[in-house]
Amino acid sequence: MSKATIEKISNLCKRRGFIFQSSELYNGINGFWDYGPNGVAMRRALEQAWWNYMVEARDNVEGQDSTIICHPQVWKASGHVDQFADIMVDNKISKKRFRIDNLLEQQSPEVLQALADSFETEADVAKLEASFETQVEQKTELVKVILNDCKVIDPSTKKPGDWTEPKQFNLMMQTYVGPVFDEDHKAYLRAETCQPIFINFHTIATSMRQKVPFGIAQTGKAFRNEINPRNFTFRSREFSQMEMEFFCHEEEAMDWYNYWRDERLKFYKDVLNFRPEATRTHDHEKLAHYAKAAMDIEFEFPFGWGELEGIHHRGTWDLSQHAEHSKQKLEYFDQARNERYIPTVIETSVGLDRLMLAILCHAYDEDEAETQKEGKETDVRVVLRLPAVVAPVQVAVLPLSKKLSESSEKIHKDLQKNFRSAHDVTQAIGRRYRRQDEIGTPLCVTYDFDSEEDNCVTVRDRDTMTQERISLDELQGYIFNKLNA
RNA sequence: GCGAGUGUAGCUCAAUGGUAGAGCAUCACCUUGCCAAGGUGAAUGUCGAGGGUUCGAGUCCCUUCACUCGCUCCA
């Protein structure tokens, strides 16, 4: 049972320079988070671990880095502009909020007819929804009156609601390209990193002489106007994704789907050392209309199970959409099969910030340690049992006394060439060990008064708190082996 | 957006309407000192912001901002 709570994690993250509220000086901004020195070190290491595993170690996956702002048509083609915009309305009596399309679907024919009469249209959900959209765009007060006059039912109470003015919720963030802010210059910040992969598919296949099946990976920022950001960094409005789109022939798609699912599970197990019970897989019961198969890899956060990664069989939907909207042929000619087709896509998509949070929750531990504090035998030790590959500091060099700091700094400088090393000279040694435990440093190297004589240092292990005397000549190799164990 | 809650030192939190505090953390010095050790000292605040009531407001009232939790949303 994990001892982590979101409150403890977020406190530790702030106290130790991992993650804190963005723009705190101005009271913060909801859904945006900054990474401090330890947070950014860990995040870069994690991103690099993913990149190495998914791109660098493979011949059939290429990398790319696209712009955050793309041609607005990209997001119309992908369906985001439509699907990310909903009209919402609140019932003041039940305090519930509804999407107008969901609400319309649950009305009786009488109510629908009354609405249709008011809008001078037909009693059809799609047509009524279109009427609502027009009215809401024109910001008329009429809609609220109509909702209430037609006695639209609240599905949760089965009674007419006291409806507020419907509002348009846009989940895509908007901006303007060029100095003139009008409709013609409207653009979107990308809501996911995968669309720019789809539109670059042919350019990359050609330039890298790749043949299907092959993949393209990208990491980077994505933006969504989440209605309600919650649970620390779990749902943020600006976040990073690590996505890979694998293009293959439809006949092989399920095999590749299974292959990538297994690869991704292996990543969590072998690279990040997740305990088996920390994650689970969850097959989607309701598939998006274009999807053939979809599953999530979930992690048990202190607030419950949450999605870390999605593995999706997207069919030919995305490339077909872009082919249609761009009026370009996005077919691939497969020489081996002597066949022309739109490749099928298998996607792996993980949230970098969510994964950071999961790793922190997974690593958080409290144990009992002996103390020399007066009146106490043991004390609670807070320790992050981070895998060495992502630990912000991999080794800390600590002189037993400040007088020894000249020699210890030389060791630190030497270790810095190969590892993320820190040098800490202030305060009692025990306190420094505890500080390093809290940021998850796997190894501490202590230089003492004997070191001058015997050319040896003490290496202390974070998890066992045991110490070993190591010759300075063997130190680099010893640390390398321990960190890669 | 609705409802509830919270804003005081870096953190956790005190303070009947009457001089803003503690613990921890931080920093400096001392200590041949290996697990938040001991000692001496230091720094730290527009009490979220604005207005009002009062002789006097961190405390009461109003407004506002931000955050947290619940509802809605989460392809």
- Looking at the structure, tell me whether residues A264 and A313 fall in a common domain: yes
Distance from C-alpha of A153 to C-alpha of A160, rounded to nearest angstrom = 4
Distance from C-alpha of A155 to C-alpha of A411, rounded to nearest angstrom = 69
- Looking at the structure, tell me whether residues A52 and A136 fall in a common domain: no
- Looking at the structure, tell me whether residues A132 and A278 fall in a common domain: no
Q: Within its chain, how far is the Cα of A64 from the centroid?
A: 18
User: CATH number, domain at A135?
Assistant: 3.30.40
State the nearest residue by CA to the C1' of B72. A97
- Looking at the structure, tell me whether residues A212 and A345 fall in a common domain: yes
Contact A97, A89 (CB under 8 A): yes
- Looking at the structure, tell me whether residues A93 and A147 fall in a common domain: yes
Is A264 a domain residue?
A: yes
Helix-helix angle A109-119:A142-149, to 10 degrees: 150
Distance A27 CA to B5 C1' (A): 18
> For chain B, which bases have at least one atom within 7 A of a protein Cβ?
1-3, 7, 10-12, 25-30, 32-38, 48, 65-75
Contact A341, A250 (CB under 8 A): yes
Which of chain A's residues 24-53 bind strand B, using a 7 Å CB cutoff? 27-31
Phi, psi (deg, nearest 5) at residue A61 = -130, 130
Q: Is the CB of A221 under 7 A from strand B?
A: no
Q: Is the CB of A449 under 7 A from strand B?
A: yes
Distance A21 CA to B47 C1' (A): 21
- Looking at the structure, tell me whether residues A428 and A457 fall in a common domain: yes
A441: nearest Cα among A398, A378, A472, A476:
A398
| Nearest nucleotide by C1' position to the A84 CA atom | B75
Contact A259, A36 (CB under 8 A): no
Q: Is the CB of A5 under 7 A from strand B?
A: no
| Nearest nucleotide by C1' position to the A222 CA atom | B75
Is A10 a domain residue?
A: yes
pTM of the model: 0.89
**Residues whose CB falls within 8 Å of the CB of residue A294, separated by 6 or more in sequence, listed in order:** A283, A284, A287, A288, A310, A311, A312, A313
Is A369 a domain residue?
A: no
Is A184 a domain residue?
A: no
- Looking at the structure, tell me whether residues A130 and A262 fall in a common domain: no
Distance A230 CA to B67 C1' (A): 11
Residue labelled with tokens 């390398």: A480
Distance from C-alpha of A413 to C-alpha of A422, rounded to nearest angstrom = 9
For chain A, the distance separating the N- and C-terminal CA atoms, rounded to the nearest angstrom, is: 25
Distance from C-alpha of A484 to C-alpha of A463, rounded to nearest angstrom = 15
Last residue of a domain, one of A106, A136, A170: A170
From residue A236, give the alpha-carbon distance in Å to each of A17, A224, A226, A230, A370: 19, 8, 7, 7, 40
In angstroms, how far apart are the furthest CA atoms of chain A? 96
User: CATH number, domain at A467?
Assistant: 3.40.50.800
ipTM: 0.82
Distance from C-alpha of A421 to C-alpha of A400, rounded to nearest angstrom = 17
Both tokens of A202, joined, read 């042919």
Both tokens of A443, joined, read 């190894």
- Looking at the structure, tell me whether residues A227 and A200 fall in a common domain: yes
Distance A480 CA to B43 C1' (A): 41
Q: Is the CB of A192 under 7 A from strand B?
A: yes
| Nearest nucleotide by C1' position to the A169 CA atom | B73
Q: Is A147 left (phi over 0), alpha (psi -120 to 50) or beta?
A: alpha
Per the structure, the count of domains in chain A is 3
Last residue of a domain, one of A170, A202, A233: A170
- Looking at the structure, tell me whether residues A232 and A356 fall in a common domain: yes
Distance from C-alpha of A11 to C-alpha of A239, rounded to nearest angstrom = 20
Is A269 a domain residue?
A: yes
Q: Is the CB of A400 under 7 A from strand B?
A: yes
Last residue of a domain, one of A109, A139, A170: A170
Buried b (16+ CB within 10 A) or exposed e, A455-484: ebbbbbebeeeeeeebebeebeebbeebbe
Is A381 a domain residue?
A: no
User: CATH number, domain at A320?
Assistant: 3.30.930.10
Q: Is the CB of A215 under 7 A from strand B?
A: no
- Looking at the structure, tell me whether residues A156 and A104 fall in a common domain: yes
Which of chain A's residues 276-335 bind strand B, using a 7 Å CB cutoff? 288, 303
Distance from C-alpha of A147 to C-alpha of A153, rounded to nearest angstrom = 9
Question: What pLDDT was estimated at residue A374?
Answer: 62
Q: Is the CB of A170 under 7 A from strand B?
A: no
Q: Is the CB of A93 under 7 A from strand B?
A: no
- Looking at the structure, tell me whether residues A430 and A471 fall in a common domain: yes
Distance from C-alpha of A390 to C-alpha of A42, rounded to nearest angstrom = 5
Distance from C-alpha of A228 to C-alpha of A109, rounded to nearest angstrom = 33
Both tokens of A420, joined, read 């993320």
Is A383 a domain residue?
A: no
Is A185 a domain residue?
A: no
- Looking at the structure, tell me whether residues A296 and A222 fall in a common domain: yes
Domain that holds residue A464: 393-483
Both tokens of A149, joined, read 């006059």
Q: Is the CB of A431 under 7 A from strand B?
A: yes
Residuewise pLDDT in 10s, chain A (485 residues): 457 788 888 888 888 889 888 887 777 788 888 888 899 999 999 999 999 999 999 999 999 999 999 999 999 898 888 776 677 777 777 667 777 777 777 788 888 888 888 878 877 777 777 777 777 766 666 777 777 778 888 777 777 777 777 777 778 888 888 888 888 888 999 999 999 999 999 999 999 999 999 999 999 999 988 877 878 888 888 899 999 999 999 999 999 999 999 999 999 999 999 999 999 998 887 777 777 889 999 998 888 888 999 999 999 999 999 999 999 988 999 999 999 999 999 999 999 999 999 999 999 988 877 777 666 667 778 899 999 999 999 999 999 988 898 899 999 999 999 999 999 998 888 889 989 999 999 999 999 989 988 999 999 999 999 999 999 999 999 999 999 98
| Nearest nucleotide by C1' position to the A24 CA atom | B66
